Each structure stands twice: as C-alpha cells, then as structure tokens.
C-alpha cells in the first residue's frame, strides 16, 4: 500500500502539472464488481483516469486494475521508454512493480513481436542460446556471428533488437513452443482478471487495444467480452483539445452505463461512449478547416466555431470553457497551430498547411482530419447521449 500510495500521489501531481486534465462524473466510492471503459487515443488516458479515480473515489486498500501488454513485463521496457537511463535499465524487469500497482499482463502481440521479446521467451525456457539457432538466417544475419539471446540487452544490440518480426522468423521447436505458450498465457491472464472482478475489483480498460489514428473508435474486443457480463459498467468518454495550449489538454466524462446485455454485443456501449465525449474547440475548428481552401482571418474562425457550436444537438456535452468564451480559445489556438505548422501564417491571415501533424499524436498523419472525424462520430451517435444530459 505505501508503494501504491506514493505512485498514485506522485502521478496525480505530475499529471496535473505536465498536462491539463478536467473531468466530470465519477464512479461511486462504495461499489462492487466494476468495469471502467474508455476510448483510446493516447498513452495518457490510463494513468490519468486510473489515478484520478483512485484519488476521488478510492479504494486505497486495493488498486484500480488495468490490463497492460506483456512487453511491459520483460527486461528493457523501461529502457525503451526512458532512453536517457538506458544504461541502467536495459536489463531491468519492472514487471513485479507493475503488478503490485494493479497493472496486470495481457498478451496483445500474437503474430509479431520485437526480436528481443521472442528471444526473452525462448531464453526463459532454455537459457541463453545463439540467435542463429533460434531465428531464421534473415534475422540472425542482422547481428554478429555468435550473438546470443542474452547479448540483446547490451548497448551494441539493444536498438536493433527492438525491430519487430513475425513468429514465422522463429525456428522449430521454438515457434511451436511460443505459440502454445501464448495461448496458455492469454487464458491464464483472462482467468486472473475474471477472478479479480468477481471478487469485487474495479478494472479499467481501453478495449480498442491500439490508439485511434483516424479519430474514430475502433472495434471493442478481447478482455472486455469476458469482464463486461460480470460488472457494472462506467464509461469514460475522452476528448483531447490539442490546439488550445502547449500543455496537452484532456477532458473526460464518466457516466453510469449499467449492465451490458450479451445479446446486444458491444454496439450500444460503443455508441454511448462516442456520444458522451466532450465537444471541444479543436474539433469544431477542424470540422471547419478540413475542407477549407484559401486564407482566413481570426474573426472568421471565431464566427465559424460559434456557429458550429450553436448548431450542436442540445444533449451533447460541450466544454464549459468553450461555451463561456469561444473567441478566447480560438485566439489561443491559431498561433499555436501555426507554430506546429498545422496552419501557415500569411500576414494577419491563416491558411491550412499541406502536412498537418501534432507533436503529441505522432501516429496521426492529419490531426485536423482526426479531430473532425472524432466530432463526426460524436454527432452521429448524439441520440445515445440523451439520458446523460
């Protein structure tokens, strides 16, 4: 508990200093088996929502559990995330710490993984082996003759060993062993999570698995199908407002969804999640800019956002700051968008740039299209927000 308390409080302080986080709604303090489901766009959602839930609603005695990729439970994960400490962390396996904090492993890379991940799995079973004995010639040739699975944590090979290869690059019998191990791990991981929920635990999930790179919610599958029937479900509808400040602005709403009818599948939950997400300045600006051709003045952008906001269905939740002063937020956004080269500045006017990327969303090719598509999906599902105000 002391380790968990220190982790929660330090993360809560960091999250609210380095980012701008606002939230509405919360899960009750006294609750039984509970599932919190969020849409997935960024690494930040999981720590922000889990930590904020713990601070606002508890419990402190037990963690809010999450599912994390099994790659986090292998040596070198922290070295990849904290490259300036790589010399200390290349051989460190932080898996036991993650489990103590409520982060449970779940295999999500079935057919392709980093070379070092495959090598680590083989080495745990057989000890250090030459790469040429474990991998086919194409992969083994990337490393010096005589390199072993244990050598991949050395600085010389660390970056190269993070390349992703398919399971077919493994030689037999290791390929068959790891395919069997993967199936066993998935079943044991899911059984462990089911037991936690049945015993009254709270689990946080982003069932899409991967970030949305186009702004739309992806298919919900995997562990949610096993945990949803056992739980009372709360939805955390997440929006980012990437244009309004240098600090990434995250907004989310928590609403009570209840029980999921098995016969209905995931669609009602997905539609409701899309509908409850906050409407923000970046979305309205992007919807106007996505097909804009030519230049525009600041006042034109302000008028466009105000007009779009007035036309929104009344049941949608709009960022209160946007409701209060849309012109201020647009005026803050345009210079920042020019700084990030999303817009081009031409005197006192602006024009959309050819390449529109945002530093906080490196996998998104066009952040304007991303935010506009996000809003489109919210509008299409607006009827599902009616009961939440």
pLDDT in tens, the chain (389 residues): 787 788 888 888 988 899 999 999 999 999 999 999 999 999 899 889 999 999 899 877 888 999 888 888 889 888 888 888 888 888 888 888 888 888 899 888 889 999 999 999 999 999 999 999 999 999 999 999 999 999 999 999 999 999 999 999 999 999 999 999 999 999 999 999 999 999 999 999 998 878 899 999 998 888 888 899 999 999 999 999 999 999 999 999 999 999 887 767 889 999 999 999 999 999 999 999 998 889 999 999 999 999 999 999 999 999 999 999 999 999 999 999 999 999 999 999 999 999 999 999 999 999 999 999 999 999 999 998 876 65
Query: What angle is formed at CA 309 by the lines to CA 306 and CA 311, rounded to 5 degrees?
Result: 115
pLDDT of residue 221: 81
What are the two backbone dihedrals, phi and then psi, of residue 61, each rounded to the nearest 5 degrees?
Answer: -70, -35
Architecture of domain 278-388: Orthogonal Bundle (1.10)
pLDDT of residue 275: 96
Q: CA 192, CA 248: separation in Å to the nearest integer?
A: 35
pLDDT of residue 43: 86
pLDDT of residue 131: 97
Long-range contact set of residues 1-5: C-beta below 8 Å, sequence gap at least 24: 1/60, 1/61, 3/97, 3/100, 3/101, 4/60, 4/63, 4/100, 4/101, 4/102, 5/60
pLDDT of residue 220: 87
Grouping H, G, I as helix, E, B as strand and the rest as coil, residue 243 is coil
pLDDT of residue 263: 66
Q: In this structure, are residues 110 and 182 in contact, taking their beta carbons and an 8 Å threshold?
A: yes
Cross-strand partners of 68 = 105
Q: In this structure, are residues 83 and 168 in contact, taking their beta carbons and an 8 Å threshold?
A: no
pLDDT of residue 389: 53
- Could you give the C-alpha distances from 334 to 214, 251, 289, in angstroms and in order? 22, 20, 12
């Amino acid at each position: 508990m002391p380790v968990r308390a220190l982790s929660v409080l330090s993360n809560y302080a960091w999250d609210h200093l380095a980012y701008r986080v606002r939230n509405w709604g919360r899960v009750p303090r006294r609750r039984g088996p509970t599932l919190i489901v969020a849409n997935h766009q960024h690494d930040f959602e999981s720590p922000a929502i889990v930590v904020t839930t713990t601070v606002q609603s508890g419990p402190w005695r037990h963690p809010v559990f999450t599912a994390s990729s099994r790659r986090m439970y292998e040596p070198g994960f922290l070295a990849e995330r904290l490259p300036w400490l790589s010399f200390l962390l290349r051989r460190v396996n932080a898996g036991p710490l993650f489990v103590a904090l409520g982060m449970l492993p779940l295999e999500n890379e079935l057919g392709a993984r980093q070379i070092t991940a495959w090598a680590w799995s083989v080495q745990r079973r057989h000890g250090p082996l030459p790469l040429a004995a474990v991998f086919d010639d194409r992969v083994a040739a990337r490393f010096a003759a005589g390199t072993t699975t244990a050598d991949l944590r050395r600085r010389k090979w660390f970056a190269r060993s993070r390349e992703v290869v398919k399971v077919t690059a493994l030689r037999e019998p290791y390929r068959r062993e790891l395919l069997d191990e993967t199936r066993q791990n998935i079943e044991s991981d899911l059984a462990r999570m089911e037991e936690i929920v049945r015993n009254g635990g709270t689990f946080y999930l982003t069932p899409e698995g991967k970030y949305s790179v186009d702004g739309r919610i992806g298919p919900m599958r995997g562990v949610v199908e096993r945990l949803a029937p056992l739980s009372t479900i709360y939805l955390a509808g997440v929006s980012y407002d990437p244009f309004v400040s240098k600090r990434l602005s995250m907004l989310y709403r928590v609403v009570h969804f209840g029980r999921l009818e098995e016969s209905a599948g995931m669609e009602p939950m997905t539609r409701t999640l899309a509908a409850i997400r906050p409407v923000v300045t970046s979305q309205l600006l992007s919807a106007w800019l996505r097909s804009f051709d030519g230049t525009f003045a600041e006042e034109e952008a302000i008028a466009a956002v105000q007009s779009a906001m007035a036309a929104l269905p009344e049941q949608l939740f709009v960022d209160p700051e946007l409701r209060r002063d849309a012109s201020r937020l647009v005026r803050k956004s345009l210079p920042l968008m020019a700084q990030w080269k999303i817009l081009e500045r031409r005197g006192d006017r602006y024009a959309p740039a050819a390449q529109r990327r945002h530093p906080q969303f490196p996998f998104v090719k066009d952040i304007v299209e991303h935010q506009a598509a996000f809003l489109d999906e919210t509008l299409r599902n607006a009827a599902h927000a009616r009961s939440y105000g």
